[in-house]
């Protein structure tokens, strides 16, 4: 990665819908060169996906919760992860250190819907020892941005 790649990533974190010509003009390359670099970043797995940040309340997913999950033993990981990957309500799944094994970010309609996801879907799976749920009251920041330390990447 070089300085152009870092500039591309920075601009795309701000607006992933930029036209190649606009991106190229901002970073000082031709549009084909910018597009080629973006495609290379995708092929290298540096850019994983392009997405949009949706206002959950506006589309009926008003409740956000973080759910810590503890598994009985590691042999239950595969079925757990398979379930999690099929639940649209689970936006994020992190394998964590500490008392629990996983931390999930869940977006759903309301507490009744959260109960369905946690009590019936997740706890209904064999090998779940416990869950701990924290309901979000308000979100002050939600972002796709990552800090870029250019000195380590060049």
Residue ranges of the domains in the chain? 3-51, 56-135
What's the chain's average pLDDT?
Answer: 93
Q: What is the mean pLDDT of residues 29-35?
A: 94
In CATH, the number for domain 3-51 is 1.10.10.10
Q: Among residues 19, 18, 143, 33, which one has the least CA distance to residue 2?
A: 33
Share of the chain above pLDDT 70, in %: 97
Q: Compute the average pLDDT of residues 70-78.
A: 97
Query: Which letter does DSSP use for residue 1 in this model?
Result: -
Q: What is the pLDDT of residue 28?
A: 94
pTM: 0.83
Cα–Cα distance measured from residue 50 to residue 70, given in angstroms and rounded to the nearest whole number: 31
Hey, what CATH topology would domain 56-135 get? Alpha-Beta Plaits (3.30.70)
Residue 154 has pLDDT above 80, yes or no: no
Q: What mean pLDDT is predicted for residues 7-12? A: 93
**Of all helices (H) and strands (E), which one includes residue 26?**
helix 20-27
149 pLDDT exceeds 80?
no
């Amino acid at each position: 990665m070089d300085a152009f790649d870092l500039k591309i990533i920075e601009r795309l974190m701000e607006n992933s819908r930029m036209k190649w010509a606009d991106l190229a003009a901002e970073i000082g390359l031709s549009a084909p060169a910018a597009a080629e670099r973006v495609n290379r970043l995708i092929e290298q797995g540096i850019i994983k996906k392009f997405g949009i940040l949706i206002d959950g309340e506006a589309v009926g997913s008003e409740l956000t919760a973080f759910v810590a999950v503890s598994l009985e033993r590691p042999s239950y990981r595969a079925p757990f992860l398979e379930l999690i990957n099929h639940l649209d309500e689970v936006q994020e799944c992190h394998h964590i250190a500490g008392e629990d094994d996983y931390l999930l970010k869940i977006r759903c309609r309301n507490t009744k819907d959260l109960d369905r996801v946690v009590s019936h879907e997740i706890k209904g799976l064999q090998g779940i020892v416990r869950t701990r749920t924290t309901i979000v009251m308000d979100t002050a920041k939600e972002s796709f941005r990552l800090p870029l330390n250019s000195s380590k990447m060049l």
